[in-house]
Amino acid sequence: MINIKQSITKLWLETKQRWFPSKENNAVPLDQISRFYQTDFYQSLDESLKSAFYDGPLGGLDSRVLARKDVDFLSQSFSLWQHGRNLSCAIYGEKGTGLSTLLNIFIHQLKQQNQAYKLLTLEKRLTDEQDVIDTLAKAMGLTEGTYKLDDFIQALSELPSCVIALDNLHFLVQRTLGAQAVIDCLGAIILATRGHHFWLLGAEEQTWRRLCYGYRFENLISHQHHIANFTDSEMRDLLIKRFAYAGFHTINDIATDTLHSEKSPINDIAKRSKGCVELGFFYCLNNLTYGTKPQSLLIMPAQEIDMGPLKKLNKIELFTLAEISTHGQLSVKEHAALFRMSTNESKMTLEHLRVLGIVDQGDEFHNRDTYSLKLIISAVVIRYLISMNYLY
């Protein structure tokens, strides 16, 4: 009887493996991704490869920068404002799509035109009306702590006209009492001065959605622009250019000049990375071996990421990830207040997510108490949360 049961179980498992092969056996564990950059394998790679596959733009090499459609939007909006249109502007996109890079490129253009500008990168959550005024006053070179809202608007209007670029808008998001007052204050300042100053705001997509759904933020901004994710072909071109930049011109015995076909090994990586540059870089470096010919590489087929740990998370952990994605980052104290739990319980929840390799903890230079989504898998995690109806 036992033999029959064992035989049936074995037959079932073999049939299941034959028709529904488990991807997770061959998948890359989430925590391995975070450890990759500390592995001996990564350290043994050529310096040229490591420097080519870093998470910044390669000057004019990347097609996305060369396409300039996002920069053009900013230039056109700015031009309209210069010609008397009372407008303000916001750009938003998924984490890692080059939001800050785009702002810097635009600022660089302004410098070349000798146009006055102030780039304000928020570094902490704004807690109340006075905090908003003081932060903006400091950035604009005004005295902190001396203004109320009306005085500050007056003072701002008397300053020479300039571009005010506000980055890291996720520090405006908070699910605490008084959050509305922060948004109302900033909104009043933007609306009252947008004829005089050109306001340019940058936010991650989930942050922007939260600001719009929760606080009707879109009413403050006349021109919005969504920075699209990298398409498969854009990603493929970017990766090929990075290999060429590192001095490797032959991949899987194919010259990089002819790698742009649909069947190239890079194309598989481009598809799997789903628009996330960091993930594409990881796949490239994790799957390569040096070829026998000089300056040649062999790229193995990319493996799936093991999403098993995500599927095992409980309700609070999934909500935690959703809130981290909209808040940009959460400290233990913020998490405890948001989820109405003790700080120890919050610490445990966040640490569990960190151990699983889903979130990163701030380092000693960037607030060790905060946790943010691991950049390399943030796009994958956000898509999972949307499909599970924890994000919208």
Partner 1 sequence: MDKNIYQQFVELFSYTTLASIVGTLIITWLILVGIRWAINTLVNYKPKYRIQLAQTFPVIRILLWFAAISYIVIGIIQPPQSVIYASLGSLGLAIGLASQDAAKNLVAGIMMAVSPRFKVGDMVKVGEHYGEVISLDLSTTKLHTFDDDIITVPNADILKMPISNSNNGELNEMVAVDLHLPVSIPIAKLKSIALDAAKCSYYVYLKKPIVATVFPIFQDDFYYHLKIKAYVLDVRFEKSMATDIAERVIEALQENDLFDGSLFANTQTPKDPLEIRPSI
Interacting residues toward partner 1 by CB under 8 A:
175-180, 210, 213-214, 319, 322-323, 338-340, 386-390, 392
Comparison of 112 and 387: residue with beta carbon closer to partner 1: 387
Q: How many CA atoms lie within 13 A of 318 on its CB side?
A: 16
295 in Cβ contact with 251 (< 8 Å):
no
Q: Minimum distance from CB of 177 to partner 1 (Å)?
A: 5
Comparison of 175 and 347: residue with beta carbon closer to partner 1: 175
Comparison of 188 and 388: residue with beta carbon closer to partner 1: 388
Comparison of 278 and 323: residue with beta carbon closer to partner 1: 323
175 in Cβ contact with 335 (< 8 Å):
no
Comparison of 102 and 212: residue with beta carbon closer to partner 1: 212
Task: Name the amino acid, one letter, at 207.
Answer: T
Q: Minimum distance from CB of 345 to partner 1 (Å)?
A: 15
β-partners of residue 297 are 251, 290
Comparison of 102 and 221: residue with beta carbon closer to partner 1: 221
Rama region for 59: left / alpha / beta (φ>0; ψ in -120 to 50; rest): left
Comparison of 179 and 356: residue with beta carbon closer to partner 1: 179
Q: Minimum distance from CB of 211 to partner 1 (Å)?
A: 10
Q: Minimum distance from CB of 218 to partner 1 (Å)?
A: 12
3-state secondary structure the chain: CHHHHHHHHHHHHHHHHHHCCCCCCCCECHHHHHHHHHCHHHHHCCHHHHHHCCCCCCCCCCHHHHHCHHHHHHHHHHHHHHCCCCCCEEEEECCCCCHHHHHHHHHHHHHHCCCCEEEEECCCCCCCHHHHHHHHHHHCCCCCCCCCHHHHHHHHHHCCCCEEEEECHHHHCCCCCCHHHHHHHHHHHHHHHCCCCEEEEEEEHHHHHHHHHHHCHHHCCCEEEEECCCCHHHHHHHHHHHHHHCCCCEECCEEHHHCCCCCCHHHHHHHHCCCCHHHHHHHHHHCEEECCCCCEEEECCCCCECCHHHHCCCHHHHHHHHHHHHHCCEEHHHHHHHHCCCHHHHHHHHHHHHHCCCEEECCCCCCCCEEEECHHHHHHHHHHHHHCCCCC
Comparison of 221 and 251: residue with beta carbon closer to partner 1: 221
Comparison of 74 and 182: residue with beta carbon closer to partner 1: 182
Q: Minimum distance from CB of 273 to partner 1 (Å)?
A: 21
Q: Minimum distance from CB of 214 to partner 1 (Å)?
A: 5
Q: Minimum distance from CB of 173 to partner 1 (Å)?
A: 11
Q: Minimum distance from CB of 174 to partner 1 (Å)?
A: 9
Q: Minimum distance from CB of 86 to partner 1 (Å)?
A: 28
